[in-house]
Amino acid sequence: MPKEHVIQDGECILSVADTAKVSKYHTIWDDPLNAELKKTRPNPNALVVGDKVQIPDPKEKTVGAPTGATKTVTVKKKEPPSLHIVLVGAEDKPLKDKAWAMTEPVVAKGTTGADGLIKVAALDVGAKKGALTIVIHPPPKPPGPPPKKEKPKPSYPPAVDPDEYKDAKVPDLPKDLETLELTLKIGSLPSHNHESGVKARLYNLGFLQAADPKPDVLLDAVKRYQRSLLSQKEGSGKAADIQDDLKNRHDKK
């Protein structure tokens, strides 16, 4: 008999398939039992808490071989998921060539690409949180030695150059580099066509200061999004009116 799994916070179709010991999530997602859910949630990695996924009965595969013969069966390994993060700055422009370091759920480091992309491969399917640090502005380099002055021809008695008796001044370096420290919530991005998905994307893009704001704060954030990115001076403030544009802008990678 098929089993029903109710989506919890931090779950996506990959983690559901892993729990069900299914090597490919398509086995579950493409089953006719989940046809209605697919219409509602076009992205299987962006489900909503409370969604119900039907897990079909496992299909048995029979392998034939002559008596006394050896049959080799190749079992495909599960492909681990990867994490993609795009850093965007002012005017919706990507932050390129920024050094980053991740300490959780894996240890990795690198530099953002021209599109602001950070890609971390081979994550554990069950990973639900992460820690990422990005250097926005590197520390200034100490100045080099001052250029040598041409000394005039010696006279008697020789002239005193006061600059020769001054210590070279090196500007104080900032104690803390200008960095951005992010706590990541992996596998918890709801579908774009649900209010929780609109909130999450607005939060990621900086239009919200809290992931679950009050209704009036969400209304204001939607209107600011409509004014700044959609050139709508009198925006509706309705989450449903920006969900498609928000998906294309936020989920484009």
Amino acid letter, residue 244: D
Structure tokens at 165: 């008796």
- What Å distances lie between residue 43 and 6, 17, 86, 163, 200, CA to CA? 17, 15, 18, 69, 15
Q: Give yes or no for a contact between 149 and 127, defined as CB atoms under 8 angstroms apart.
A: no
Average pLDDT for 124-148? 85
pLDDT in tens, 213-233: 999 999 999 999 999 999 999
pLDDT computed for residue 174 by the predictor: 47
pLDDT band (50, 70, 90) for residue 61: low
pLDDT computed for residue 168 by the predictor: 46
pLDDT in tens, 18-53: 999 998 899 999 999 999 999 999 999 899 999 999
pLDDT in tens, 158-194: 665 665 555 544 444 444 558 889 999 998 899 999 9
How high is the mean pLDDT of the chain?
86
Backbone Cα Rg of the chain: 28
pLDDT band (50, 70, 90) for residue 66: confident
